[in-house]
């Protein structure tokens, strides 16, 4: 059996900067904003790595559902939220994250989130123009 090179072993080690999937990927954000989010996810006890990207995806997916489904969820709740995540809590988490990062990065994240907010509330206007 061939010996594994030390670089291959370190690349697969937990906490390694070479590990794939360690960085959040959110379309529309700069590497600077993604780096801030990554640092926040690793330093706050209410966040796990990947939580912000998951929240953005969950909110985006939720607001693009048919209106009748959204109304049903509003009236009676959704039993799938226990296993799959509550999109309304995800949106609240995004507000918290936007307050915790720098104004520049918050502006970028707000722009990404506002696209989904516009689908949720068509009268919503983009705060950054």
Cα–Cα distance measured from residue 99 to residue 103, given in angstroms and rounded to the nearest whole number: 8
Which positions ≥6 away from 36 have C-beta within 8 Å?
101, 102, 105
Give the model's pLDDT for residue 16: 45
Backbone Cα Rg of the chain: 18
- The conformational region for residue 24 under phi > 0 = left, psi -120 to 50 = alpha, else beta, is beta
Which mean pLDDT values do the consecutive 10-residue runs of the chain (129 residues) have? 60 49 76 94 92 92 73 55 76 94 96 87 54
């Amino acid at each position: 059996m061939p010996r594994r090179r030390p670089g291959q072993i370190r690349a697969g080690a937990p906490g390694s900067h070479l590990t794939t999937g360690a960085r959040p990927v959110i379309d529309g954000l700069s590497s600077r904003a993604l780096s801030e989010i990554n640092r926040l996810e690793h330093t706050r006890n209410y966040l796990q790595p990947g939580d912000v990207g998951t929240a953005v995806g969950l909110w985006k997916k939720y607001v693009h559902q048919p209106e009748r489904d959204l109304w049903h969820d509003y009236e009676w709740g959704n039993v799938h939220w226990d296993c799959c995540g509550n999109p309304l809590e995800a949106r609240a988490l995004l507000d918290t994250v936007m307050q915790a990062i720098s104004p520049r990065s918050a502006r970028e994240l707000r722009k990404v989130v506002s696209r989904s907010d516009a689908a949720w509330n068509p009268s919503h206007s983009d705060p950054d123009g």
